[in-house]
Chains A and B, each alone.
Chain A
Amino acid sequence: NAGVMQNPRHLVRRRGQEARLRCSPMKGHSHVYWYRQLPEEGLKFMVYLQKENIIDESGMPKERFSAEFPKEGPSILRIQQVVRGDSAAYFCASSYRIQETQYFGPGTRLLVL
């Protein structure tokens, strides 16, 4: 049973480009969470999704960031017009039910030049 999968593991973008980060939850998990970790800081919640629904996006920046979790396929975190401050590790986690243990993927390290 594969764990949470994220790709790409590393992503380099120039300022102004778009970044797309993908997350496939563990088999049977329908709850997906995205977190961001800036260098030398803790993880910060961004968004919580269930299939086809955004449940809580209180941690998402108001502009340039969006997330989806379609009926088929992985969850996508999309960052438009990236800036250097977007450079961070982006982790996805999934759980089987609400309030159950969240299992993390290996993360995508985004570097904006």
Chain B
Amino acid sequence: RKEVEQDPGPFNVPEGATVAFNCTYSNSASQSFFWYRQDCRKEPKLLMSVYSSGNEDGRFTAQLNRASQYISLLIRDSKLSDSATYLCVVNADTGRRALTFGSGTRLQVQP
């Protein structure tokens, strides 16, 4: 089983749509959670951290369910510029400092 699992997609949605991505992680000791965005052939960029209480940043809302080991990202009012791969990322408190990445969910927003 992968440490971080995501639906690879692609999710093809029209502009203005609301789209949700889910992610599950296997290590219950995980402490920090993030969503990164990666454009084609570019580096990952931090989109937002994910907190237990849930958090929102403009059109983006992230949720964490520790009991189910589940993370979600909701994008409202999709823009063409949101087209990218969204990476679910976890940092386990095992002494390792490394981030563990999911394989990503590809989003294509269409006009």
Contact = CB atoms under 8 A, between A and B. Distances in A.
Interface stretch (B50-58, B63-71, B92-100): B92-100
Contact of B98 (A42, A48, A101): A48
B61 interface: no
Interface of B: 4, 31-32, 41-46, 49, 87, 91, 95-104
Given A89-B41, A101-B46, 11 more contacts: A31-B97, A33-B97, A33-B98, A43-B87, A43-B99, A55-B97, A56-B97, A91-B44, A101-B49, A103-B46, A109-B41
A104 B100 CA distance: 14
B103 A41 contact: yes
Interface of A: 31, 33, 35, 40-45, 48, 55-56, 58-59, 89, 91, 93, 98-99, 101-107, 109
Contacts, number: 57
Nearest to B2: A42
Q: Closest 5 A-B residue pairs measured CB to CB?
A: A45-B98, A42-B103, A104-B43, A42-B101, A43-B101
14 contacts: A33-B97, A35-B99, A41-B103, A42-B87, A56-B98, A89-B41, A93-B99, A98-B97, A99-B32, A101-B46, A101-B49, A102-B99, A104-B43, A104-B44
A84 to B, nearest CB: 20
Nearest to A41: B103
A45 B100 contact: yes
Contacts of A31: 97
Given A42-B102, A99-B32, A99-B91, A106 B97 contact: no
Contacts of B46: 101-103
Contacts of B44: 43, 91, 104
A31 B91 CA distance: 15
A99 B91 CA distance: 8
A91 B43 contact: yes
